[in-house]
Amino acid sequence: MIRALYSSASAMAAQQQNLDIISNNIANINTVAYKKTRPAFQDALYSAIDARRVREPVNLQMGNGVKVAATQRNFSRGNLQETGRPLDFAIDGEGFFVLLRPDGTLCYTRDGSFQISAEQVGGVVVSRLVTPRGEYVLDVNGQPMEVYNGQEVPLENFNIAVFANPEGLEAIGHNRFVATEASGQADYGYRVTIRQGFLELSNVDLAEEMTQLILAQRAYQLSSRVLQSADDMERLANNLRE
């Protein structure tokens, strides 16, 4: 009895989390280079129905519900959209732009909507490519990318990083990722076509998200029904003696 209550409660919690993930995907449907996420569900541990009968060679174990084991990010490519803006870049293939944060650490992004930062270097004004948040975009030599004549960027100079397991990257907001133990170290200098004047769209498919939404909602509803039945049973047991 208690088991049914908790199993269905775990399912409702998991579906709630599923719904959170779906709503975040839909919220980011117009975010440049956003990558959708999906939860991976797993069955929770099993316990013996009757502790005195564990030695019997038959299956006598009952599950304890479900859990969200991981959220998996889908790095499939979004469509490329032409913007005509010379400081918009899209990676036509695998990989990430490498960004240098003000604190000296690196992060990675596929969002190529950059800007120019004019800086005094040794008495000369240099135009450097930066993100809207002021992070430098690095070139193959690990130096900030420079922009000539306000729009000319040597595309082959972009430093592109690839990872053994991009799903292991940690999203830190503002379309950026950082490397983790799970993702492995970045492999720099990957050769890939960069398109100037294009941006990568979000890879969220609204029809797919709506389908997931319906599934999540129904699963939630069903589990709440089971919870109600378990509660009804408790009530009946309570009413055995009036």
- Residue 189 touches another protein, criterion: CB under 8 A: no
Q: Under the criterion CB under 8 A, does residue 51 sit at the interface with another protein?
A: no
Residue 102 CB, nearest distance to another protein (Å)? 27
Residue in 23, 63, 150, 151 binding another protein, rule: CB under 8 A: 63
Kindly state whether residue 113 participates in binding another protein, applying the rule CB under 8 A: no
Size of the site for another protein (CB under 8 A): 65
Burial of 232 (0-12, 13-18, 19+ CB in 10 A): exposed
* Residue 183 is a binding residue for another protein (CB under 8 A): yes
- Counting contacts by CB under 8 A, is residue 193 touching another protein? no
Contact string 13-32 vs another protein (x = CB under 8 A) = -xx--x--------------
Least Cα distance to 4 among 47, 46, 53, 63 occurs for 63
Q: Which residues pair with 37 in a beta bridge?
A: 73
Single out the residue of 79, 151, 185, 193 in contact with another protein (rule: CB under 8 A).
185
Task: Select 127 or 203, whichever has its Cβ closest to another protein.
Answer: 203
**Minimum distance from residue 115 beta carbon to another protein (Å):** 31
* 64 scored as a contact of another protein (CB under 8 A): yes
Is 66 among the residues that bind another protein (CB under 8 A)? yes
- Name which of 58 and 207 has its Cβ closer to another protein: 58
Stretch that binds another protein, among 101-109, 124-132, 194-202, 224-232 (CB under 8 A): 224-232
Token code pair at residue 194: 């960069």
- In the complex, which residues of this chain contact another protein (CB under 8 A)? 1, 3-5, 7-8, 10-11, 14-15, 18, 40-46, 49-50, 57-66, 69-70, 72, 74-76, 94, 164-168, 181-185, 215-216, 218-219, 222-223, 225-227, 229-230, 232-233, 236-237, 239-241
